[in-house]
Structure 1
Amino acid sequence: MLTIVQKYFSISILFLIVILNSCNKQNEWLEEKRLKNEVILKSLQDFQALLDNTDVMNNNYPTIGLIATDNLYIANASLSGISATERNSYIFAKDVYAGSTPSDYSYQKISYANIVLEGLQNIEIDPSIETNYNNIKGQALFFRALSYYASAQLFCKPFVTATATSDLGIVLRQSSDPNIVYQRATIQATYDQIISDLSTSIELLPVQQLYTTRPSQTSAKALLSKVYLSMGDYSKSFVYANEVLNTYNTLLDYNSNLVSTTSTFRFPAFTTNASTANPEIIFYAAGIGYDASIFAFGVQFVDSLLYQSYENNDRRKLVLYKNNGGVQVKYAGSYTGTFFNFWGIATNEMYLIRAECYARQGNASLAMNDLNSLLKKRYNTGTFTDLTAANSNDALSKVLKERRKELPFTGQIRWEDLRRLNQDSQFSVTINHIYNNVTYSLSPNDKKYVFPIPDREIQLSGVEQNDR
């Protein structure tokens, strides 16, 4: 795809990319004294090319939360060899970054989106370009909303209706001007902005795009379903998951030749060739390589209880994991087809969201229908027997169990689920990690479910730090 995009790059775009690629973190971006008149973006092709910079817009989404979950453990002898940020995240330290600024706290994607949104205001719309104009604007709004959402899962408390208007959310940068300093919005304002951006993008985007790296109307609805799920608004989450699946509901059969049980990477790498691409992917994105580096070098392993929860006929046990015959099992099942974890959205997640919403609405039968539709594609051909539920609460428990097994290292989903499910004592858990024979615990609703804002950002903008 990049070769297609590159032909549209003007000298001015190249100049912009050079500047922005040097600013991987927000503090670097804020310090960059870029003059507006030094960058000239004139055409819709320019703006599309900026959004098609997949190195920025589709990669390096936050994954630090994964390290603090119960889906993995890091070998004790290896903890001293990983970065301070990774180690401190694993043991739930108060000071996570040890003076550094993690890539997880970055506003670069938001800055790109704001540049596009501001530039589009200077283009006169006529019928010949309106569709393309709307498409580009919708993409920019989606990317901004996705970045806001990703940050909200780390740097502010989980959404709780009773306190959302008083709890601090994230910084909502609405301008590309690095000289404007923003303070933190409330959690309510944070989610209102995410929902507003996505709702507008749904009206502007086409149902499908040429590439899954470009957000579509379907992917915007899917993200909105995820947002409402994280807020505990299951009725609205259902509406959008249902609309997605009514538009696109293809599942990948894990018995097909697109799936391997022996290769280094079990799923096909990203491609624009539909015949060899993973058909479940609605929107493609990848995360920061914390998990890539420690999985690749044999430092991080899958929690044994999680691994043992798969039945022998469940192909996910073979496809998602590598077991060399010992107790240490490594994850190999990213939908990126690489070591980097998949941060996009796929139909398997939509089935699980709709199933959960059905269960929470009291409809156990439809919840199990969705869950069984997914699981039939995961077991050895002809070996799966439909699951049943005694009631809606039983259905909910089964759906959440399979959600963890289906999406163990997709995005930061397990981290996000722990944050929201801890508010219900039925599903809350205490996480224990061991380092040097000391057990470090993260209890439900602990303050450490919110990561600190990097010190450098506090110094630059004066925003209020999280209490950890």
Structure 2
Amino acid sequence: MKIVKFLGLSALVFSSCSKQLNITPTDQVDAHTVFSSVGSLNQGVAGVYANWREEYLIRIGSVVADECRIGLQNTGVSLTDAGQNLFRWAFTGTTSEIAEPWANGYQVINEVNLILAGIDGVPAKSAADALEKQQLKGELLAIRAFQHFDLYRVYAYSGVYDPTAYAVPYVTGTNIYEEPSRPQAGAFFTTLKQDMAAAEGLIGNSGALNRMGLTALYALEARVALYTSDWPTAIDRAGKVIAAVPLAPATNFPGIWTDNSTAEVIFKLSRTNQSGLRPGDCWYNIPYGVYLFAPSRTLMSLYDTTNDIRYHSYFATDSSLVATGQLPDIISKYAGSSGAQNLNDLKVFRTGEQYLILAEAYARSGNLAAAAADLNTLRGQRIAGYQPVSFVGAADLLAAVFAERYKELCYEGHRLYDLKRAGMNVVRQPVDWPQGAAAGKLTPSSLYYYIPIPQAEVLANPHIAPNNPGW
């Protein structure tokens, strides 16, 4: 398929942690020669997780929106792939940061499809093997659904869900010469939900937070339901997650971001010193010692700086940076530790998000009392001395939910996509504008409100048209 071919992925080899799968550019995988056991199959699936780069999507979601200020030294040609064009709303279909989510997403999908094509032929020598093989198949289907949903969030033709608008190709085969077109969103999500339903019938909770278990699948289903206005499913699945994984106590919350606690973590991507990309790399460049982005003043101003546990978990201030020509405020989420800067496991699903999904779904369903209760519960867990508040109607409550998502989920890959799915403007206050900027608003009619299909894909696949609005 051209969607992978232009990346030079027609001959794939899984990550160095697994030598089990060497795939030549054919359309079939012979499981008997690829995997000799369920154990080696497990290693191959681990390689899929290792190649998953959620950081690319997070960078676009944060930097294009209103979560950041650009660092004063994030300029020039020496700092390549540092997000300058994203922040300045000057990107194109050839910008590397625009191409990376597309390339990585379809790489992972291709790896999943190649394993699924041969998984039924992998010998299971015991009942335990058969159960593990079933679990692994469920994980692969869940990953395929997740990757396609992420690609939709970045590259969908319409920000607001429209079943007739163009989505992105949903790839389930291994034909590297295929030139897939863009399905309508309705058909796209039908296929995606089929993958999730099939996974739900196979998958269990293994207890490993770095693998997609049943609770993580429920969290994905809740997130998908939120984007497709399926409020009953959002309520049901978020409720299941909350019942299984409670919110972190305030004493444990800061440790989530230093990997000293797994409280309320549902699924995370493991990162090690061998990882090619670390979460903190989006904000701080280690070789140059440059902070690429600082937290936006607008975002920081929303917190109770004394009582909200999130403020000092997400941000830090180092006044000595001013003397080096940098901004004093730091994004400390995923800052790593001494000797391991920028290195933390990437948290993909947390219970805090599920409370906000539940609150929004209840509000949009007309159950304002339940929505307010969930929002107040989350705030009460994050803010010392918090007293529950009342809301005047659904509009007031929904505005509060979106404001809380801004505060709770910053730098986790939600902000831009939240604004777009609600048809809201991206608005930066003047204090957060880059030098030389004269305006700070993107509306749904603005070119840079949409992320283009990468130009390399457009050139390689004549069926991918149309590109997104304006591109």
Structure 2 residue aligned with 1:363: 367
User: Residue 50 in 1 paired to residue 44 in 2?
Assistant: yes
Q: CA deviation at 1:439?
A: 3.0
Structure 1 residue aligned with 2:20: none
The answer to whether the 8 Å contact 2:62/2:410 transfers is: no
Distance 1:37 1:121, change over 3 A: closer
Q: Distance in 1 between matches of 2:163 and 2:336?
A: 35
Structure 1 residue aligned with 2:349: 345
The answer to whether the 8 Å contact 2:138/2:198 transfers is: yes
Q: CA deviation at 1:29?
A: 0.8
The answer to whether the 8 Å contact 1:286/1:344 transfers is: no
Q: How many residues align?
A: 423
Distance 1:408 1:185, change over 3 A: same
Q: CA deviation at 1:228?
A: 1.4
User: Residue 30 in 1 paired to residue 10 in 2?
Assistant: yes
Q: CA deviation at 1:219?
A: 0.8
TM-score if structure 2 supplies the norm length? 0.80
**Percent of paired sites with the same residue:** 19
Aligned residue among 249, 270, 276 for 2:245? 249
Structure 1 residue aligned with 2:394: 392
Equivalent position SS for 2:401 = helix
Q: Distance in 1 between matches of 2:334 and 2:359?
A: 23
The answer to whether the 8 Å contact 1:25/1:101 transfers is: no
Equivalent position SS for 1:282 = strand
| Deviation string, structure 1 residues 52-110 (Cα, Å, up to 9, x no partner) | 12421476552323210111110355233543672221122252534787321221210
Q: Distance in 2 between matches of 1:183 and 1:84?
A: 29
Q: Distance in 1 between matches of 2:333 and 2:83?
A: 21
Distance 1:281 1:58, change over 3 A: farther
Structure 2 residue aligned with 1:102: 99
User: Residue 116 in 1 paired to residue 115 in 2?
Assistant: yes
Distance 1:222 1:335, change over 3 A: farther
Query: Equivalences for 1:179-218 in 2 at 5 Å?
Result: 179-206=177-204, 208-218=205-215
User: Residue 282 in 1 paired to residue 283 in 2?
Assistant: no
Distance 1:37 1:215, change over 3 A: closer
The answer to whether the 8 Å contact 2:316/2:330 transfers is: yes
Q: CA RMSD in A?
A: 3.2
Structure 2: gaps of 5 or more residues:
13-23, 272-276
Structure 2 residue aligned with 1:72: 68
Structure 1 residue aligned with 2:274: none
Distance 1:24 1:436, change over 3 A: farther
Q: CA deviation at 1:197?
A: 1.1
| Deviation string, structure 1 residues 414-459 (Cα, Å, up to 9, x no partner) | 111011122xxxx544347744413354422134333222222223
Q: Distance in 2 between matches of 1:25 and 1:189?
A: 24
TM-score if structure 1 supplies the norm length? 0.80
Query: Equivalences for 1:137-176 in 2 at 5 Å?
Result: 137-158=137-158, 160=160, 163-165=162-164, 167-176=165-174
Of 221-230 and 76-85, the range deviating more from structure 2? 76-85
User: Residue 300 in 1 paired to residue 304 in 2?
Assistant: no
Aligned residue among 47, 57, 63 for 1:62? 57
The answer to whether the 8 Å contact 1:85/1:96 transfers is: no
The answer to whether the 8 Å contact 1:302/1:330 transfers is: yes
Q: CA deviation at 1:408?
A: 0.8
Q: Distance in 2 between matches of 1:286 and 1:440?
A: 39
Q: Distance in 1 between matches of 2:261 and 2:64?
A: 31
Q: Distance in 2 between matches of 1:100 and 1:359?
A: 35
User: Residue 259 in 1 paired to residue 263 in 2?
Assistant: no
Structure 2 residue aligned with 1:419: 420
User: Residue 234 in 1 paired to residue 231 in 2?
Assistant: yes
Equivalent position SS for 1:268 = coil
Q: Distance in 1 between matches of 2:247 and 2:415?
A: 21
The answer to whether the 8 Å contact 2:4/2:107 transfers is: yes
The answer to whether the 8 Å contact 2:75/2:84 transfers is: yes
Distance 1:24 1:30, change over 3 A: closer
Q: CA deviation at 1:318?
A: 1.5
Equivalent position SS for 2:207 = coil
Q: CA deviation at 1:47?
A: 2.2
The answer to whether the 8 Å contact 1:159/1:231 transfers is: no
Structure 2 residue aligned with 1:15: none
Q: Distance in 1 between matches of 2:392 and 2:437?
A: 41
